[in-house]
Amino acid sequence: MDANEATTLTCYRHADMLTSLRCNRCGNPICPKCAVRTPVGFRCPDCVRTQQNRFYTGGKLDYLIAVTVALPLSFIAGFIFTFIVARIGFFSWLIAFLVAPLTGSLIAEAVWRAVGRRRSRYLGTVVMACLIVAVLPFVGLILLSGNFLGLVVPGILLFLGSGAIMARLR
Ligand SMILES: [Zn+2]
Ligand SMILES: [Zn+2]
C-alpha cells in the first residue's frame, strides 16, 4: 500500500472511521477499535471468529455425550462425598479438599475422552452444570436433616470440583 492509500482507507465495519490498518489475513481495512491483536498480528473480528470456530471442533452431540458421562459420575461423587467422606469425622474437610479437585479432573477427563478429545465452547460449563445438578439432591437431603455443617463437604466438592472441570475443559 502506498502513503496515499493509508489516508483513504475506511474501516469495513465503520464507514466513518479512517484507518491505515488492514487485517493481515483477509486484508479488510480495520479501525483501531475493531482490530484484534493476535500473536500473529492485527486481525479483523470476522477472521478471529473463523479462527475460534476452527479451534472448537466439537458438534452439538458432544454436549449430549458430556451430560451422559458427567451426570452419573457426578452423582456417584456426590454420594461418596455425602455418605462416606463427610462421615469420616475429623479429617473429612481435609480429605474433601484433597479429593474434590481430583474428582473434578476425573469427571472432566472421562468427558474429554468420551467426546473424542474435541473442543466445544461450552463443554466445561455443561459438565460443571452436571456436577451442580447431581450434587443438589444430596444438598437437599442434608438441609432436610438440619445438619448444616454437613454442607461443607459437598460444598467443597462443588467449588473445587467445578474449578478443576473448568480448568481441564477450557
Ligand atoms: Zn480479516
Ligand atoms: Zn471499525
The three three-digit cell numbers of residue 99, written as one number = 479429593
pLDDT digits (tens, 9 = 90+) for 7-54: 679 999 999 999 999 999 999 999 999 999 998 899 999 999 998 888
- Ligand sitting nearest the alpha carbon of 15: 2
Residue 54: the pLDDT is 86
pLDDT at residue 1 is higher than 60: no
pLDDT band at 5 (very low <50, low <70, confident <90, very high): low
Closest CA to 88 of 23, 32, 153, 14: 153
85: CB partners within 8 A, 6+ apart: 92, 95, 96, 99, 153
CA of 34 to the centre of ligand 2 (A): 4
CA of 7 to the centre of ligand 1 (A): 19
- Ligand sitting nearest the alpha carbon of 17: 2
Distance between CA atoms of residues 70 and 133, nearest Å = 10
Distance between CA atoms of residues 61 and 150, nearest Å = 37
Rounded to two decimals, what is the model's pTM?
0.75
CA of 44 to the centre of ligand 1 (A): 4
Domain ranges of the chain: 3-55, 61-168
| Cα-based distances in Å from 103 to 47, 60, 108, 127, 149 | 38, 25, 9, 12, 21
pLDDT digits (tens, 9 = 90+) for 54-99: 888 888 899 999 999 999 999 999 999 999 999 998 899 999 999 9
112: CB partners within 8 A, 6+ apart: 168, 169
CA of 159 to the centre of ligand 2 (A): 40
